[in-house]
Homo-oligomer: A and B are copies of this chain.
Amino acid sequence: MPLTIGEAAGKSGCSAPTIRYYEEIGLLRAVDRTLGGRRAYSWPQVYRLTFIRRARDLGLSVEQVRTLLRISDGDQADCGDAQDLLATYVEEVRRRRAELESLENTLTAMAQRCGDTCANVPGAACTVMEDVLNARVEAIPG
């Protein structure tokens, strides 16, 4: 009852090429093949793919996911390491969210000023151009 790559894709939420890619970069060990050379997936492998998908959707990098998988695989690491990784990542998310918040305010103010003072003037005279040129913002990472 092994699953084809298409079925594994359907169950896990990863696309078939993505699954092959994960195999290539070593997130998933090379799976068994049928006589004809097609990949055959077991359920635990599908769960692993699902885990990867969810963790990626949470925004974790492939390398962070790799670390979590190593921890989960029991290679000399324990729970504390998973918690540390998560804590670091929460900090990252908090910082990015704060940046987006300030960005939203900046942008809203720009749009406001344009709405208040521009009346379909030629683009070059629009306050947006001026405001962007004078904007002082941190680059938004990722």
Contact = CB atoms under 8 A, between A and B. Distances in A.
A30 interface: no
A25 interface: no
A133 B50 contact: yes
Nearest to A80: B120
A63 interface: no
Contact of A123 (B81, B139, B142): B81
A116 to B, nearest CB: 11
Nearest to A117: B79
Contacts of A128: 68, 79, 82-83, 86
B126 A79 contact: yes
Nearest to A47: B133
A107 B86 contact: yes
A38 B117 CA distance: 42
Contacts of A107: 58, 86, 89-90, 93
Given A54-B137, A59-B140, A93-B100, A129 B72 contact: yes
21 contacts: A51-B133, A54-B135, A54-B136, A55-B135, A57-B135, A57-B139, A68-B129, A78-B122, A79-B114, A79-B122, A79-B125, A79-B128, A80-B120, A82-B114, A82-B129, A83-B115, A83-B126, A86-B107, A86-B114, A96-B100, A142-B142
